């Protein structure tokens, strides 16, 4: 039986999403842009899609360089009974945090296998968890096989070069996409060390398109209006979502500070 494969992206920036999509839409699989989802709710939305067996999860700031290798990886996950293939969050080329959890900038997720035992009540969040998706990927690692893939640091000093298990580069991940379309003077005020991300991310996009021998998309005035309208809607939804998480974040900081005493 051939698995039904879809490509999912949790997206906030429409322009960035279309740049990423331009590198995977030719793969022949349905592409699903999920907006306004929490960092963990995004994966629960995938699991509810009963028309998908294998989900290829690609961040909007991850740029596919070898689609054939991605398809081969998806087949390996399906045929060899892995629940997840991805990059350890403990890898220094990723974040250097939790080695058990895979960072969701790129994953191949066996939804059919996970559904056999999935129970959302088992997703227990610890105050030490750095991200909302930690319980989900920790539960997968504890109950199924995870294929941890190698990665290396890009020459720009920030981006991640993601490899498959045979050493082929399958995507480039930029990080800090939340600052991509934000004016640099605003970013420098709220995040002084991350105020120059757009030029770096644009350079990474060009590099990925060059590897694929494709033309980088060029946007006209109508496209820019569309991007601005989409961004307005996204912010209108995101701000209340972020505020709603403040009580949890305060409790988490208090718990961590008490543990460190």
pLDDT of residue 259: 58
pLDDT of residue 212: 97
pLDDT of residue 261: 60
pLDDT of residue 252: 67
CA distance 120 to 232: 32
Nearest to 46 by CA among 10, 83, 1, 3: 10
- Residue 3 carries which DSSP code? P
Find the Cα–Cα–Cα–Cα dihedral 216, 106, 117, 43, rounded to 10°: -60
Domain architecture of the chain: domains with CATH: 5-219 (3.90.550)
- CA atoms 3, 54, 79, 24: torsion sign: positive
Contacts of 32 (CB under 8 A, 6+ apart): 6, 7, 8, 9, 49
Residues 173, 152 contacting (CB under 8 angstroms): no
Contacts of 162 (CB under 8 A, 6+ apart): 62, 87, 105, 106, 149, 151, 169, 170, 171, 172, 173
Contacts of 21 (CB under 8 A, 6+ apart): 9, 31, 33
pLDDT of residue 127: 62
pLDDT of residue 129: 78
- Report if pTM > 0.85: yes
Angle at the Cα of 61 from the Cα atoms of 56 and 63, rounded to 5 degrees: 65
- CA atoms 138, 168, 208, 49: torsion sign: negative
Per-residue pLDDT of the chain (261 residues), as tens digits, is: 899 999 999 999 999 999 999 999 999 999 999 998 888 889 999 999 999 999 999 999 999 999 999 999 999 999 999 999 999 999 999 999 999 999 999 999 999 999 999 999 988 887 677 888 999 999 999 999 999 999 999 999 999 999 999 999 999 999 988 888 777 777 777 776 666 688 899 999 999 999 999 999 999 999 999 999 998 998 888 888 778 777 766 776 676 666 556
């Amino acid at each position: 039986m051939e698995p039904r494969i879809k490509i999912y992206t949790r997206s906030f920036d429409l322009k960035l999403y279309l740049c990423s999509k331009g590198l995977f839409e030719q793969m022949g699989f349905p592409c699903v842009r999920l907006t306004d989802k929490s960092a963990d709710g995004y994966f629960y939305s995938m699991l509810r899609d009963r028309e998908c067996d294998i989900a290829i999860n690609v961040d909007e700031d991850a740029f596919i360089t070898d689609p054939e290798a991605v398809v081969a990886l998806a087949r390996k996950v399906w045929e060899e009974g892995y629940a997840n293939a991805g990059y350890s969050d403990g890898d220094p080329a990723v974040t250097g945090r939790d080695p058990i959890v895979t960072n969701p900038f790129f994953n191949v997720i066996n939804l059919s296998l996970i559904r056999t035992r999935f129970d959302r009540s088992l997703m227990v969040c610890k105050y030490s968890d750095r991200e909302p998706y930690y319980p989900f990927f920790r539960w997968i690692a504890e109950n199924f096989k995870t294929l941890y893939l190698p990665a290396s640091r890009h020459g720009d000093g920030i981006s991640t070069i993601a490899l498959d298990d045979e050493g082929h580069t399958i995507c480039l991940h930029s990080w800090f996409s939340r600052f991509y379309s934000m004016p640099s003077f605003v970013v420098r005020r709220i995040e002084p060390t991350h105020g120059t991300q757009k030029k770096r991310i644009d350079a990474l996009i060009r590099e990925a398109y060059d590897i694929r021998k494709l033309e980088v998309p060029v946007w006209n005035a109508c496209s820019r209006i569309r991007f601005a309208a989409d961004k307005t809607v996204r912010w209108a939804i995101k701000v209340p979502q972020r505020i709603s998480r403040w009580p949890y974040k305060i409790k988490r900081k208090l718990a961590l500070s008490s543990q460190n005493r």
